[in-house]
């Protein structure tokens, strides 16, 4: 049997990164993980090992550290890279735009320098549906033009994709996965999202409110042009997001030599409003939720959900979990964090 490739995963102790490492290890890949641990913890690394029963190499490295990155590539022969390492909060990016450009764009450029020097050509990039801004039509497909980003986070992802398109002309082969809204946790309850401080994403705030960590959830806006006035999103289980990365690696591995930059929407194709999600959480878990309606939040897009036909057809990927399961798994993880029964 052919030996599986060696994959470098940057930001591999983060939320989506950790779940993807599980999928890679279970698929037989050799994996090296790097993470600065600025926004994660070592217990996530241990959780990955507990789930898979497999060892992997972990290094505490910041992707902005060019010297450390060079040493890493010098010591290893990587076949491909999955690049997760980035800040990801829309709200925080509005408050700290420079930090987002320095980290998200700078880390990619440092990584690409190392890949180019050590002749590693295959890259799976962690992108976002925020690259579309508020699209002219939904469900949005990959042919939709980039509109003005609603936040510096979205703009940083747009800029990264432009850089990667240019790099594809000089030999880097790229599959860019544009995530919609990853939620949930591993069904084992051993890994999940670990927001630092007050969560910026909806579901961790929902579960923290349900656990009593937060007094109340605020739904930002009920006067949007949507069925119930709240923002509409495409929520997808994090394990489904993770499995798509394995398919994307296999997709690049199977390509003949040549230049490629391919973007894929990674979503379910179903639009769900914030208020619908709140009600679904109550229904799926039996836990009541204290919430109120607040004003709109800067940087939020009114409504967006995916047309996932391209990823289904090209990568042979399909989501396995529904919204109720996603919310149950998120709640299971939240209870584990706080020792709740």
By the 8 A CB rule, do 43 and 18 touch? no
Confidence (pLDDT) at 298 = 86
Q: What is the mean pLDDT of residues 267-295?
A: 97
Confidence (pLDDT) at 282 = 97
Dihedral of CA 189/267/30/69: which sign?
A: negative
Catalytic status, residue 153: yes
By the 8 A CB rule, do 193 and 281 touch? no
Q: pLDDT tens digit string along 58-105? A: 999 999 999 999 999 999 999 999 999 999 988 899 999 999 999 999
Has residue 265 got a pLDDT over 60? yes
For the chain, the structural domain boundaries read 6-185+235-268+306-320
By the 8 A CB rule, do 249 and 293 touch? no
Has residue 13 got a pLDDT over 50? yes
Q: pLDDT tens digit string along 290-340? A: 999 999 998 888 999 999 999 999 999 999 999 999 999 999 999 999 988
Q: What is the mean pLDDT of residues 50-55?
A: 97
Confidence (pLDDT) at 195 = 87
By the 8 A CB rule, do 294 and 168 touch? no
Q: How far apart are CA 230 and CA 223, in angstroms?
A: 7
CA distances from 120 to 2, 3, 127 (A): 19, 17, 20
Which CATH topology does 6-185+235-268+306-320 take?
Rossmann fold (3.40.50)
Average pLDDT, the chain: 95
Q: Give the whole-number percent of the chain exceeding pLDDT 70.
A: 99
Confidence (pLDDT) at 1 = 45
Provide the H-helix boundaries in the chain. 15-26, 42-52, 66-75, 90-95, 97-100, 106-117, 152-168, 202-210, 238-254, 274-285, 309-315, 323-338
Q: Is 59 helix (H, G, I), strand (E, B) or coil?
A: strand
Q: Among 29, 87, 100, 153, which one carries the catalytic annotation?
A: 153
Q: Is 108 helix (H, G, I), strand (E, B) or coil?
A: helix
Give the residue, 336 or 197, on which the prediction is more confident.
336
Question: What is the band of 259 on the pLDDT scale with cuts at 50, 70, 90?
Answer: confident
Confidence (pLDDT) at 217 = 97
CB neighbour list of residue 316: distance below 8 Å, 6 or more residues apart = 247
Q: What is the mean pLDDT of residues 168-189?
A: 96
Give the residue, 3 or 101, on which the prediction is more confident.
101
Q: Is 195 helix (H, G, I), strand (E, B) or coil?
A: coil
Confidence (pLDDT) at 2 = 57
């Amino acid at each position: 049997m052919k030996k599986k490739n060696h994959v470098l995963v940057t930001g591999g102790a983060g939320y989506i990164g950790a779940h993807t490492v599980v999928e890679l290890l279970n698929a037989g890949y050799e994996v090296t993980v790097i993470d600065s641990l600025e926004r994660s913890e070592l217990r996530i690394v241990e959780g990955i090992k507990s789930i898979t029963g497999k060892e992997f190499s972990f290094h505490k490295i910041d992707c902005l550290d060019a010297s450390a990155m060079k040493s890493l590539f010098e010591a290893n022969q990587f076949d491909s890279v999955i690049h997760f390492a980035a800040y990801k909060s829309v709200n925080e990016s509005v408050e700290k735009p420079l930090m987002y450009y320095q980290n998200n764009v700078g880390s990619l450029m440092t990584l690409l320098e190392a890949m180019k020097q050590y002749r590693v050509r295959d890259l799976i990039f962690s992108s976002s549906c925020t690259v579309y801004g508020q699209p002219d039509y939904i469900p949005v497909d990959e042919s939709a033009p980039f509109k003005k980003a609603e936040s510096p986070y979205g703009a940083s992802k747009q800029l990264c994709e432009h850089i990667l398109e240019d790099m594809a002309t000089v030999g880097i082969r790229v599959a860019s996965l544009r995530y919609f809204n990853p939620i949930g946790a591993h069904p084992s309850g051993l890994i999940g999202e670990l927001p630092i401080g007050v969560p910026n994403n909806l579901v961790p705030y929902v579960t923290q409110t349900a656990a009593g960590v937060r007094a109340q959830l605020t739904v930002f806006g009920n006067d949007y042009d949507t069925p119930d006035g709240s923002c509409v999103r495409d929520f997808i289980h994090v394990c489904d997001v993770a499995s798509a990365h394995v398919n994307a690696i296999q997709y690049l591995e199977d390509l003949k030599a040549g230049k490629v930059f391919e973007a894929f929407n990674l979503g379910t194709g179903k639009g769900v409003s914030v208020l619908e999600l709140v009600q679904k959480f109550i229904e799926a878990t039996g836990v009541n939720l204290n919430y109120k309606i607040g004003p709109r939040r800067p940087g939020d897009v009114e409504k967006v959900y995916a047309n996932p036909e391209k990823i289904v057809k090209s990568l042979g990927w399909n989501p396995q979990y529904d919204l109720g399961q996603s919310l149950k798994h998120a709640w299971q993880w939240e209870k584990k964090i706080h020792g709740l029964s």
